[in-house]
Structure 1
């Protein structure tokens, strides 16, 4: 459940089972075999959620906290182990829970499972008075079984039995201390129940003698000398890690791969240790190839297996492309990019041919597994998926997004499919959507050719790359798309129109696409929302960003551009009324925020924009005080700034309530004076260490940072002419700028983690829009940065198409900044650039927003954002935010 007051983290429970849309995990159907055990007469069983099944003896209350006993298992023995553990629990009257299905078991033991809870198949809740006997009984019956080591716990003896001290259950109201589910009570004090992937005994716990001895003995047995020294971690997974290390005996820097036994289980029944064995075998077979790492050492230390290999020179191919691709016109450089990628592809093709001649098939060719050194030499790494037989068709077990085969195929063909996708990516680096739309990569060819022709790259270089791609396209197995996704097809139209009627044709295609997506969603989804959205918004059906109301607003604006008023009657009218009523009825549901983009005040504003003006004003008056009181954050997205912004908008539209009017002005002035005193208390100042597009991980930019407060202050100054707000506007922009840096090309962008961002929500586009909107109120030094911001948004393409974090936001800010006010031309240019991301569905077009994986129609990433961008260009102003006319 989402708490009413947003915290700085958010969990997204979604799955990809639906071929077309993101859906909540609870809406998916698990058809795998269930785990089940006998239920004694005086016991009860309950499935509290889709993951766990609990059995407990009636008339028996477990302690609130104690030593949890976790049991892990191999997949092959899991049913037998569950039967044994259940028998012991029944004998000792110990409450226990177990995973519900085999699919849940595989996911919990997969490579990507959370390391803090991976491996936990059964959890038992014994009292301290029986703990030793209970453990010994389990040990006697499970000593011949194996299972993955549970990182949050410590193993009891030999069997896959693990312990940690933690919370068993919620506190009983009015009978026990009112503690949270992650709090322990130790010596009368509340202590955090640490659930990290490491064993911790909470300070202050009194240990019985048998547990003290167990801890002392285990520390002695786990000490072992390592033949290597780990320098740093490259990445971790549930299966283990990949490290930069120093191999002592060889006195050499190496790449060290680690695997934990019985982890990394895939749906083919293989563990991470099987894949490490395959990698070692592949590298031995290829040992004299300069472009493949040599094995330098392998072995087992403690319980983990390790493989040390050569540290190959170079950077991953995706980083090489980021450094060298002409994303901006002014970065086209020496025109050698195409000749360089032709050489890289030629070398990669030769490398794969040589591996195949030795009956080694990589099976996971993608950008991160290809290294390019300073001389453009190619290395191919990460051979853990390797196969050694090409006689039978197989299913590809692992694939990066956009590089996986659509069909079961021969291992050699799977490799060539990966090489082909690499070639397409190098020519035009937008490939993720080819995992959703079969043949999408072919849609990109004409855009790549147009780009390099316009940038005056040598024609013979363009032709050479095209011939290589054609060769690879013909080399792979033709795909007969029999999946449900076959209704979504590449968009092959050429958008070259130049008049209003041609533009309107594509508005119709967008509207038709929304209609088809709406029908498909309502036919296949179990959820109660009306439109498909990005997984960020599956549980957030209020506010601007992801709500049904927001999507309906986008539809209304686009239909208005089409001048088809009849489309706003009939079905639309009834749908609008139903969504509004449902939205209002859930205002008192404590899972929703009060905010503008994710909450109630945003819904009220959209109700106003949908033409229900009196209703919106009434709702605002009714809820204003409670919304402001419930709101802890200050930003525009989910905080007080958004509520106050809607407040002054309502005042500007004639809100007939003097009491509320005085309250808004009073709160607005207090908000502004507090900001003047301490901007840092409103939003963090400076560069962000977190690297994410997640709305609840972001702290900068128009939607999440000081820039959004600047938008509020600018509108407040327009409405009141109070100099306080003009001062705060300038202060907010200056404070926001502390997080911005110039890139190597001189464009000014928001610094987040290891990247610079130009987006509307977080970055240069948002900054440019605030400055354009308020230029007459700003100090001269702030106006001098506009050309550097324009540089950042004037790109040839963007990874995503959406309004918040994609191309729509960049194009909109650029065109509003230039202010030529030629709506048809601007809309045509936006649609032309968006056509790279369009997919055809029936007679319409759709967008797979901010992932390329699924259809999204929300304002943040999909259709709704495109509609608002088009109407903003029509009106020559940003329509996403309330503004004072």
Structure 2
């Protein structure tokens, strides 16, 4: 999953969906070298935010000493022209950021430090040319400005830097089994090209003599006699770091706030140094206030500026919320909620007083959010991070803030702080305020829900800001969404109809990088995979009876064929899963061909279902079975080669579980359906169903026993997977996914120990508060698991209540519903995090699997399927079908269900678990 910096990068080009930065709207800010015809004898290649110029008669070398040039916006065009002239003179390929807007974004505070500052990259063909060009370029650019590139060695007084690294994309696996960019070792072996924030040289590379004086200068600058010793790094960003430190002589503890020149640009174009000195001025003006840290001064060490201020004992408000939040850490009684809301009121009162004291000094804070508030041990509050603190009447300095907590554009002075105070109060009650970033009216929905749930009267909390009046008058769509979820039973058909409309509206078949908007991971997997790509979305549409245009299936097949067969991936992130989906969509031959291409690559070391061997073997089983739409004996057309391959993998996984060392395999570190041994257990169960061999059933039990060892019973009675200091309930990693497989196993063999864990898992999966809505790590997966495992099935009160709380997350867009993805920053249509996963979950919960799949109850004791799984001559399911299609939209209606929307066999000996597992694992 992408980190914060990568997620921020994919939020730049679009306000609604995660989008590749290459689609940034910057045509009006392109540099002439990008838009003008390339120089004679040169060719131009576009790639993301970068434009490359290469001599027509040559290609870059594979690796070597590369040169980076940094710049500031006002000098960029001149620096680019001068650098390009040197490159043309020596025939050196180079690339550059294509526009001023791209430069500003890549220099921003939240960009990854490893690549920050790089404006131009040169690829000299050998060391001789490298040194010649380096000398000429340094002389040409001496005196120019630019941010320091942390991964490189600086050359002289120019913004010119060097490092040894790869010129072309070659890949290898690192020590964690992750695919990373590679260098070729003199032995011929590919090894990781380490790209950190410290200058390093591969051990086999000799540093040229011409670089040694610059190495010495770097070492001398690092020993500048700074009187403080850093004891702990608290935070890093492209702007600099925040450190806990002690004075060398007195031992006095302080906080050092570092600012790197020309780095960490904000939307106003201010760099970190500008903001640091603004903070120093504000803290000086606010000296003596109890809610403000004492400031001790500013020092410059080499080129970096440090603000030295008081270290305030305590924890951030965000940490306090995580540790106290009543909807997670209590049973939710009125008395428990009252204790929490009393604490919220106390913190809010102190924050109100603190902001009033700041305003009385003529300043606004400008960056109020839970991470910038310290709760002292005695309960007093302190504000930190005054980078945006400025005069109350200043309308030029932007307001900062966390996503969803910022006031509307144009809100200034004390009013901006008042808005952030109200949003922070609401965040303490409902810590998903990112939703207000999609639609400000969503904050009103959260406020209404919170007041009702916590029993707060209309006067509780800060005054609602005037800046919300526009949202109040345009909140009709929020009421329409709530209406779909209210009542004794949700409007299943209405929800599915709007979700499908949202998926269809987001489709971009004209693009080659992705068909549907998804998590940022979609851009690293080629756009065709199951978890984040087109395969998962098309499967969800197909399984729920929604329209799947043939052109979309063509797109999936064409895109999958372009994927590098040397890195095929696994069930959810690669070709094996895509092969299964193509087969399910009627392209069996193409699916089998894709699978065979993937099988030619070396198998992964991981054992799990997500990307490892259990998932690949399960894909083989899915393809080995005959088309379920055909009549005749179910094993008449089983592909025994694929079945045998899956069985061999299952035996290897069982040996690993039993403690044997299996070359090329490593056991997962945690538990869960996708990331633990639950996937291996599921594989064993499927093989048992196909073969009747009880050895596979016994192996499934051993794998589940190993998974159960990761589970702990929490003080609230829930059963969760423990991983270090964290605990998980999810399908991806967590007890929810493990319990589904355990439920399917218990339908075949009794195990009191496993059975005892399930009630605690069901209780956890029915949690009232879930931060994200997605299938793999959010409410969609948890509520489906609760419905599958609960004795009352999908009509259990906790299950229906959880579905109703989807109103927190669903974003209305005309007659469509959009779903925010991981991190809640942008919307996603994918299976793992977005609308497709929610669609599949609601399909199961509404009873859409009954008859339509003929699951479990149509499976005979020997693993065969009964007639409920057959397909009629018109392509529809047999008489057991429950689809009842809505002819107007092509979206399935709620269908026939047991009672009010009960999934097949839910709570009845594991039938619901088996049905849900089939949906989740491409069955």
1:711 — aligned with what? 682
Instruction: Mark the CA change 1:112 to 1:866 in structure 2 (over 3 Å): closer, same or farther.
Output: closer
Q: How many Å separate the matches in 2 of 1:223 and 1:40?
A: 46
1:534 — aligned with what? 519
Question: 1:712, CA displacement in angstroms?
Answer: 1.8
Q: Kindly provide the CA deviation profile for residues 534-589 of structure 1, in whole angstroms up to 9, marking residues without a partner as x.
A: 33335554454344454345445556xxxxxxxx6xxx3xx443333433344433
Q: How many Å separate the matches in 2 of 1:826 and 1:770?
A: 21
Work out whether 1:17 is the aligned partner of 2:18. Answer: no
Q: How many Å separate the matches in 1 of 2:63 and 2:393?
A: 55
Instruction: Mark the CA change 1:730 to 1:165 in structure 2 (over 3 Å): closer, same or farther.
Output: same
SS in 2 for 1:702: coil
1:264 — aligned with what? 264
SS in 1 for 2:505: helix
Q: Kindly provide the CA deviation profile for residues 126-173 of structure 1, in whole angstroms up to 9, marking residues without a partner as x.
A: 4543555544443443332222112122222222222223344589xx
Q: How many Å separate the matches in 1 of 2:404 and 2:296?
A: 33
Task: Please point out which of 640, 660, 663 is paired with 2:641.
Answer: 663
Q: How many Å separate the matches in 2 of 1:401 and 1:7?
A: 18
1:337 — aligned with what? 340
Instruction: Mark the CA change 1:585 to 1:660 in structure 2 (over 3 Å): closer, same or farther.
Output: farther
Aligned ranges for residues 404-553 of structure 1 at < 5 Å? 404-453=406-455, 462-463=456-457, 466-469=458-461, 471-476=462-467, 478-479=469-470, 493=482, 503=490, 505-516=491-502, 518-519=504-505, 521-522=507-508, 526=511, 530-537=515-522, 539=525, 541-542=527-528, 544-548=530-534, 550-553=536-539
Q: Kindly provide the CA deviation profile for residues 187-225 of structure 1, in whole angstroms up to 9, marking residues without a partner as x.
A: 988765433221123334345543344434553454321
Q: Is contact 1:32–1:102 with CA below 8 Å preserved after alignment? A: no
SS in 2 for 1:424: helix
Aligned ranges for residues 484-883 of structure 1 at < 5 Å? 493=482, 503=490, 505-516=491-502, 518-519=504-505, 521-522=507-508, 526=511, 530-537=515-522, 539=525, 541-542=527-528, 544-548=530-534, 550-555=536-541, 558=544, 572=547, 575-591=548-564, 593=568, 595-603=570-578, 605-606=580-581, 612=586, 616=588, 625-630=596-601, 631-632=603-604, 633-648=606-621, 651=625, 653=628, 661-679=639-657, 685=667, 687=669, 700-752=671-723, 754-775=725-746, 776-821=748-793, 823=795, 828-873=800-845, 874=847, 875=904, 876=906, 877-878=912-913, 879-882=915-918
Instruction: Mark the CA change 1:550 to 1:42 in structure 2 (over 3 Å): closer, same or farther.
Output: closer
Work out whether 1:96 is the aligned partner of 2:67. Answer: no
Question: 1:254, CA displacement in angstroms?
Answer: 1.5
Q: Is contact 2:155–2:162 with CA below 8 Å preserved after alignment? A: yes
Work out whether 1:349 is the aligned partner of 2:335. Answer: no
2:887 — aligned with what? none
Aligned ranges for residues 27-46 of structure 1 at < 5 Å? 27-36=23-32, 43-46=41-44
Question: 1:421, CA displacement in angstroms?
Answer: 0.7
Q: Kindly provide the CA deviation profile for residues 841-881 of structure 1, in whole angstroms up to 9, marking residues without a partner as x.
A: 33454432333333333332233323322332322324453
Q: Is contact 1:166–1:193 with CA below 8 Å preserved after alignment? A: yes
Instruction: Mark the CA change 1:743 to 1:331 in structure 2 (over 3 Å): closer, same or farther.
Output: farther
Instruction: Mark the CA change 1:475 to 1:52 in structure 2 (over 3 Å): closer, same or farther.
Output: closer
Q: How many Å separate the matches in 1 of 2:495 and 2:238?
A: 45
Instruction: Mark the CA change 1:863 to 1:750 in structure 2 (over 3 Å): closer, same or farther.
Output: same
Aligned ranges for residues 316-327 of structure 1 at < 5 Å? 316-327=316-327
Of the structure 1 ranges 868-877 and 720-729, higher mean CA displacement relative to structure 2 is found in 868-877
Question: 1:701, CA displacement in angstroms?
Answer: 1.3
Aligned ranges for residues 345-384 of structure 1 at < 5 Å? 345-384=348-387
Q: Is contact 1:497–1:828 with CA below 8 Å preserved after alignment? A: no
Instruction: Mark the CA change 1:43 to 1:496 in structure 2 (over 3 Å): closer, same or farther.
Output: closer
Q: How many Å separate the matches in 2 of 1:672 and 1:343?
A: 57
Q: Is contact 1:394–1:410 with CA below 8 Å preserved after alignment? A: no
Question: 1:827, CA displacement in angstroms?
Answer: 7.1
Work out whether 1:399 is the aligned partner of 2:372. Answer: no
Equivalent residues, number: 826
Q: How many Å separate the matches in 1 of 2:701 and 2:789?
A: 19
Q: Kindly provide the CA deviation profile for residues 14-46 of structure 1, in whole angstroms up to 9, marking residues without a partner as x.
A: 444333222333344323522335999654241
Question: 1:369, CA displacement in angstroms?
Answer: 0.7
Q: How many Å separate the matches in 2 of 1:221 and 1:497?
A: 65
Work out whether 1:49 is the aligned partner of 2:56. Answer: no
Question: 1:53, CA displacement in angstroms?
Answer: 3.2
Q: How many Å separate the matches in 2 of 1:189 and 1:535?
A: 31
Question: 1:702, CA displacement in angstroms?
Answer: 0.2
Q: How many Å separate the matches in 2 of 1:339 and 1:609?
A: 55
TM score, norm. by length of structure 2: 0.81
Question: 1:119, CA displacement in angstroms?
Answer: 1.5
SS in 2 for 1:512: helix
Q: Kindly provide the CA deviation profile for residues 354-402 of structure 1, in whole angstroms up to 9, marking residues without a partner as x.
A: 1112122221111111122343321211111222242537643x33121
Q: How many Å separate the matches in 2 of 1:156 and 1:798?
A: 51
Question: 1:436, CA displacement in angstroms?
Answer: 0.5
1:459 — aligned with what? none
Task: Please point out which of 69, 74, 78 is paired with 1:71.
Answer: 69
Question: 1:61, CA displacement in angstroms?
Answer: 6.9
TM score, norm. by length of structure 1: 0.84
1:156 — aligned with what? 155
Q: How many Å separate the matches in 2 of 1:795 and 1:116?
A: 39
Q: Is contact 2:681–2:699 with CA below 8 Å preserved after alignment? A: yes
Q: Is contact 1:510–1:846 with CA below 8 Å preserved after alignment? A: no
Question: 1:442, CA displacement in angstroms?
Answer: 1.0
Structure with bigger RCO (C-alpha 8 Å, 6+ apart): 1
- The answer for unaligned runs of 5 or more in structure 2 is 171-179, 848-903, 907-911
Q: How many Å separate the matches in 1 of 2:138 and 2:764?
A: 63
Q: How many Å separate the matches in 1 of 2:498 and 2:754?
A: 43
Question: 1:721, CA displacement in angstroms?
Answer: 2.8
SS in 1 for 2:625: helix
Instruction: Mark the CA change 1:555 to 1:337 in structure 2 (over 3 Å): closer, same or farther.
Output: same
Q: How many Å separate the matches in 1 of 2:477 and 2:88?
A: 53
Q: How many Å separate the matches in 1 of 2:468 and 2:4?
A: 44
Q: Is contact 2:614–2:650 with CA below 8 Å preserved after alignment? A: no
SS in 2 for 1:425: helix
Q: How many Å separate the matches in 2 of 1:9 and 1:428?
A: 21
Instruction: Mark the CA change 1:187 to 1:223 in structure 2 (over 3 Å): closer, same or farther.
Output: farther
Q: How many Å separate the matches in 1 of 2:169 and 2:667?
A: 38
Instruction: Mark the CA change 1:744 to 1:687 in structure 2 (over 3 Å): closer, same or farther.
Output: farther
Q: How many Å separate the matches in 2 of 1:235 and 1:7?
A: 18
C-alpha RMSD over aligned residues? 3.8
SS in 1 for 2:464: helix
Q: How many Å separate the matches in 2 of 1:829 and 1:300?
A: 57
Q: Is contact 1:356–1:412 with CA below 8 Å preserved after alignment? A: yes
Q: How many Å separate the matches in 2 of 1:240 and 1:170?
A: 29
Of the structure 1 ranges 120-129 and 241-250, higher mean CA displacement relative to structure 2 is found in 120-129
Q: Is contact 1:341–1:426 with CA below 8 Å preserved after alignment? A: yes
Q: Is contact 1:534–1:856 with CA below 8 Å preserved after alignment? A: yes
Q: Is contact 1:747–1:789 with CA below 8 Å preserved after alignment? A: yes
- The answer for unaligned runs of 5 or more in structure 1 is 1-5, 172-179, 454-461, 560-567, 689-699
SS in 2 for 1:447: helix
Q: How many Å separate the matches in 1 of 2:6 and 2:386?
A: 33
Of the structure 1 ranges 618-627 and 341-350, higher mean CA displacement relative to structure 2 is found in 618-627
Of the structure 1 ranges 856-865 and 379-388, higher mean CA displacement relative to structure 2 is found in 856-865
Question: 1:658, CA displacement in angstroms?
Answer: 6.7
